[in-house]
């Protein structure tokens, strides 16, 4: 049972544009929602995270928007750069365990 659904599977954005990745969850017991960035041949690295009592969190060019009633959250990358090209995973935590989305391969083109 997939408890975290992530879309799109792949995304191509022009340099300087806004990249948006969406996730939806079912389990209302989730209490923490991190996003991970992964480059080829590397392990996933924590990018930004949010708690469900906050509607938005911003760190530099990266913003998480969280809609508790809709059980959805999204990652926005402003002014996208070629160095942002990577695979992004959303995740949700309950009882010290993470459930991951299936990932979005983001490509930033010049």
Minimal distance, residue 17 CB to another protein, in Å: 25
* Binding residues among 22-41 for another protein as defined by CB under 8 A: 32, 34, 36, 41
What is the distance, to the nearest Å, from the Cα of residue 42 to the centroid of all Cα atoms in its chain? Answer: 17
Phi, psi torsion values for 82, nearest 5 degrees = -55, -35
Between 13 and 88, CB nearer to another protein: 88
Judge contact between 6 and 95, C-beta under 8 A. no
Query: What Å distances lie between residue 30 and 27, 37, 55, 63, 64, CA to CA?
Result: 6, 20, 15, 20, 16
Looking at 18-26, 43-51, 66-74, 75-83, which segment touches another protein (CB under 8 A)?
43-51
Between 69 and 96, CB nearer to another protein: 96
Binding region for another protein (CB under 8 A): 6, 32, 34, 36, 41-46, 49, 51, 89, 93, 96-103
């Amino acid at each position: 049972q997939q408890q975290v659904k992530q879309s799109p599977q792949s995304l191509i954005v022009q340099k300087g544009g806004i990249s948006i990745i969406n996730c939806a969850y079912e389990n209302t017991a989730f209490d923490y929602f991190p996003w991970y960035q992964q480059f080829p041949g590397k392990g996933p690295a924590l990018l930004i995270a949010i708690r469900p009592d906050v509607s938005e969190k911003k760190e530099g060019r990266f913003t998480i928007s969280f809609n508790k009633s809709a059980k959805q959250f999204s990652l926005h990358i402003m002014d996208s750069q070629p160095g942002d090209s990577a695979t992004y995973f959303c995740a949700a935590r309950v009882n010290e365990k993470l459930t991951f989305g299936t990932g979005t391969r983001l490509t930033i083109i010049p």
